[in-house]
Amino acid sequence: MLSIDDIIGEKDLVQLFRTIVRNREALVPSKQRIIKRIREFGPLSVEDLEGLCDEDILAELEGSRRWSILRRVRKDRH
């Protein structure tokens, strides 16, 4: 993951962007990818779910018993 210092210190931002895209570091999380990570009990954080929290994601979190993430998501929504 790129830090803000890496971006600020970079002189050739176009080349930096091309490298990030080529290395697939700039993937936008999709709903299907998030559901797959939930089902596989892969590493997951609230930041991964940002902007993607709908009823399907919440139901998947409940069904997979990912209680700690579910509590934090619900707390952030209210």
The pLDDT assigned to 22 comes to 74
Report residue 78's pLDDT band, with 50, 70 and 90 as the boundaries: low
CB 60 within 8 Å of CB 39: yes
Specify the amino acid at residue 51.
G
The model's pTM: 0.50
Residue with structure tokens 């936008």? 28
Q: Is the pLDDT of residue 26 over 60?
A: no
